[in-house]
Amino acid sequence: MNRSLRRLAVLGLLALGASSAGAQTLFNLQYNPSNYKLTITPTNASASGQNGSTTFLAEYGILFGSFFPSGSNLTANAQLPTQSSTGSIQATASTGSSMNSAWTDGVNWRDLNISTLQQGTMTFSSGSPAFLNPVSNPGTAPLVIEFASSFSSKMPSSSIDGGTVFGISSSGSDIALGTYNYSVVPEPSTYAAIAGALGLGYAVYRRRRQAAAATAAA
């Protein structure tokens, strides 16, 4: 099936609902607004609640649920504007699953979809890491996507803790695999403001100490 057919399949299965899984953190995401880069790093966690009987389609990839803010007003099933991409997300037991293509989901545009444009499958084993973690797998690297500068305003500006990661099964249903965390790197102006506040606080502290010392000496 291609991406558009997947959308029809999911719409036909919405009544079944998304299966619930455990809450292990599968990914850590970090966005740097200074260079428009999103880094996606897999952890060593397993896809809780899943077993070898469920086949997921790498072509449809994985979804980071409710990633984009409601005010972003993006279009469903749209390839996102990127400048470059390095590394990939790779499942530990799979075929053709080097996922590095960024889309909005075909059903819910707020979901970030990272997929491969090649056909492949993913089957997760209980108790084993679901995706290749760069620390324990030196030959791999985090997925780093550099978005177009004009897209930065669409990215989440605040942290997300415990967002849901979905896989898309061969039957077309979205199944919860675990969770993800998202953070934003403070811009240089933020660091400058913090440094300024600390400097001002220290200046006030010194003045009070000097005043106290002068009073004691009088």
**210 and 181 together in one domain:** no
Question: Do residue 159 and residue 213 come from a single domain?
Answer: no
Spatial CA neighbour of 91 closest among 174, 27, 38:
27
**The predicted structure's pLDDT at residue 152:** 97
Tokens in use for 124? 């997760």
pLDDT digits (tens, 9 = 90+) for 47-60: 876 656 788 999 99
Q: Has residue 18 got a pLDDT over 50?
A: no
Residues 180-205 have pLDDT tens digits of 999 999 966 544 445 455 666 666 66
Phi and psi angles of residue 126, each rounded to the nearest 5 degrees, phi first: -65, 130
Pair (65, 121) in one structural domain: yes
Q: How many separate domains does the chain show?
A: 2
**Quick one: 198 and 135 in the same domain?**
no
Q: Could you tell me if 192 and 94 lie in one domain?
A: no
User: Does 175 share its domain with 213?
Assistant: no
Cβ atoms of 155 and 147 within 8 Å: the answer is yes
Q: Given pLDDT bands bounded at 50, 70 and 90, which one contains residue 215?
A: confident
Given its phi and psi angles, is residue 125 left (phi above 0), alpha (psi -120 to 50 degrees) or beta?
Answer: beta
pTM of the prediction? 0.80
Q: Both 158 and 72 in a single domain?
A: yes
111 and 198 inside one domain? no
Q: Which of 119-123, 135-139, 146-150, 207-211 has the highest mean pLDDT?
A: 146-150
Residue in the structure block whose two tokens are 């719409």: 11
Residues 121 and 201 in one domain: no
Answer with the residue of higher pLDDT: 93 or 40: 40
Pick the range with the lowest mean pLDDT from 45-59, 73-87, 112-126, 161-175: 45-59
Asked whether residue 125 falls in the same domain as residue 212, the answer is no
Domain that holds residue 97: 3-185
